[in-house]
């Protein structure tokens, strides 16, 4: 198993398949994009599947989430999912995506073995979407969401980041829309993962701000802590249920004590936390001929170095060295 010195066991693996993305969200990367990883630096499909197999068969991983960048840009995505679906024990598999391209791929992803999707959508206004993402693809995301629902990739979860001066007033409208469409909405506090290091704690929209806005229109009842488990989102039933809304308050209400995640970057590095500054290189060991046992031991040792918390709740937090697009959200 992947046990750290604080008694936490990692069973949830986040796998970044690429650092590339077809949007340029203001809270993630600059308009001109980034210097992408060279192809030889990326793990191959076979390498990804092997490392996931080791995580499942040797290290107790039960959940695999494919991320990016934008994972739908990975040419071998459906093949990777299909091969992972054949592992025993079979991990539960999900995908975090911006939804562009999901309209044409949802059925194939479901057939390959994907269980569900999280789709990022920050606004109901196409013009605000264009300002936030610097691309005019709002309709593509809405069609992608509908295709995921039709394909049975449920529950379809929608991830939303609220930004001052852009979409800060949309929380109640977004929740009303999500309930009408049958999606589960989750608000995520803006985190310091932008490549340009423009994040500032002062002025950010907090979980408290989001809940206050939602309560202007809806009655929210918190779910018991026991129902949350290791999930990052605090959840509330809306107007007595059955609809729910979640808030991931990574900055103001860290949930590190219950963290059960380990992360594999697109270039084969293990990260014990999204905000870690240290990485453990599995790619070099893998390409040097290390067997499964040696790779598993390296992963275990990396996990032992996991810190008690992310440090996000510490004033003067120093941003991690790599942006979200390179390490997987």
pLDDT digit string (tens) for the chain, length 329 residues: 999 999 999 999 999 999 999 998 888 777 676 778 999 999 999 999 999 999 999 999 999 999 999 999 999 999 999 999 999 999 999 999 999 999 999 999 999 999 999 999 999 999 999 999 999 999 999 999 999 999 999 999 999 999 999 999 999 999 999 999 999 999 999 876 555 455 455 668 999 999 999 999 999 999 986 666 678 889 999 999 999 999 999 888 888 899 999 999 999 999 999 888 899 999 999 999 999 999 999 999 999 999 998 766 555 554 555 555 555 55
* Helices and strands (H and E) in the chain: how many: 11, 14
State residue 191's pLDDT score.
Answer: 74
DSSP assignment of 129-141? HHHHHSS--HHHH
**50, 291 Cβ separation under 8 angstroms:** no
Backbone angles phi, psi at 270, to 5 degrees: -90, 130
Q: How does strand 269-271 pair with strand 261-264?
A: antiparallel
State residue 203's pLDDT score.
Answer: 67
State residue 313's pLDDT score.
Answer: 57
State residue 261's pLDDT score.
Answer: 96
Classify 169 as helix, strand or coil. Answer: coil
State residue 29's pLDDT score.
Answer: 76
Q: CB-based burial of residue 188 (10 Å sphere; 0-12 exposed, 13-18 middle, 19+ buried)?
A: buried
CA 152-262-198 angle, 5° bins: 90
State residue 200's pLDDT score.
Answer: 58
State residue 232's pLDDT score.
Answer: 85
Q: What is the rounded CA–CA span in Å between residue 3 and residue 95?
A: 25
State residue 286's pLDDT score.
Answer: 98
């Amino acid at each position: 198993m992947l046990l750290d010195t604080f008694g936490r066991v990692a069973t949830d693996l986040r796998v970044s398949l690429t650092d590339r993305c077809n949007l340029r969200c203001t809270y993630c990367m600059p308009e001109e994009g980034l210097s992408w990883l060279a192809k030889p630096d990326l793990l191959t499909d076979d390498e990804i599947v092997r490392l996931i197999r080791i995580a499942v068969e040797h290290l107790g991983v039960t959940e695999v989430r494919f991320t990016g960048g934008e994972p739908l840009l990975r040419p071998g995505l459906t093949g990777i999912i299909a091969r992972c679906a054949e592992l025993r024990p079979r991990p539960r598999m999900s995908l975090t995506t911006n939804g562009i391209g999901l309209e044409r791929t949802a059925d194939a992803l479901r057939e390959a073995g994907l269980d569900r999707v999280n789709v990022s959508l920050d606004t109901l206004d196409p013009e605000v979407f264009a300002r936030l993402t610097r691309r005019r693809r709002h309709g593509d995301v809405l069609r992608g969401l509908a295709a995921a629902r039709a394909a049975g990739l449920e529950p379809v979860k929608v991830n939303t980041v609220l930004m001052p001066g852009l979409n800060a007033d949309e929380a109640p409208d977004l929740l009303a829309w999500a309930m009408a469409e049958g999606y589960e909405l989750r608000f995520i506090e803006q985190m310091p993962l932008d490549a340009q290091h423009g994040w500032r704690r002062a002025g950010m929209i907090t979980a408290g701000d989001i809940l206050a806005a939602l309560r202007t229109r809806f009655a929210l009842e918190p779910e018991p802590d026991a129902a949350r488990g290791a999930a990052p989102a605090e959840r509330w039933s809306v107007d007595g249920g059955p609809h729910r809304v979640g808030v991931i308050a990574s900055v103001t209400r860290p949930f590190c004590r219950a963290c059960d995640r380990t992360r594999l970057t697109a270039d084969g590095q293990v990260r014990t936390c999204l905000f870690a500054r240290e990485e453990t290189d599995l790619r070099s060991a893998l390409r040097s001929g290390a067997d499964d046992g040696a790779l598993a031991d390296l992963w275990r040792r990396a996990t032992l170095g996991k810190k008690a918390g992310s440090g996000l709740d510490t004033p003067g937090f120093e941003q991690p060295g790599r942006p979200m697009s390179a390490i997987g959200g």
